[in-house]
Structure 1
Amino acid sequence: MDEQPKVKGPASYFPSIEQKYGEPIAHWLTLLASREEKKHMALVAWLKAEHGMGHGHANALVAHFLAQG
Structure 2
Amino acid sequence: MTDKVKGPASYFPTIEGKYGKPIAEWQAMIRARQPAKHMELVAFLKEEHGIGHGHANALVAATLAEDAK
TM-score (norm 1): 0.92
**Equivalent in the alignment of 1:46:** 44
Q: Percent identity?
A: 64
Where structure 2 has 5 or more consecutive residues not aligned to the other structure, the ranges are none
Distance across 1 between alignment mates of 2:22 and 2:2: 21
For the residue of structure 1 that corresponds to 2:10, the secondary structure is helix
**Equivalent in the alignment of 2:54:** 56
**Equivalent in the alignment of 1:36:** 34
The AA in structure 2 aligned to 1:42 is: E
**Equivalent in the alignment of 1:20:** 18
TM-score (norm 2): 0.92
Where does structure 1 differ by over 2 angstroms across 4 or more consecutive aligned residues?
Answer: none
Where structure 1 has 5 or more consecutive residues not aligned to the other structure, the ranges are none
The AA in structure 2 aligned to 1:63 is: A
Is the helix fraction higher in 1 or 2?
A: 2
Distance across 2 between alignment mates of 1:25 and 1:4: 21
Q: Larger radius of gyration, structure 1 or 2?
A: 1
Number of residues of Structure 1 aligned to a counterpart in Structure 2: 67
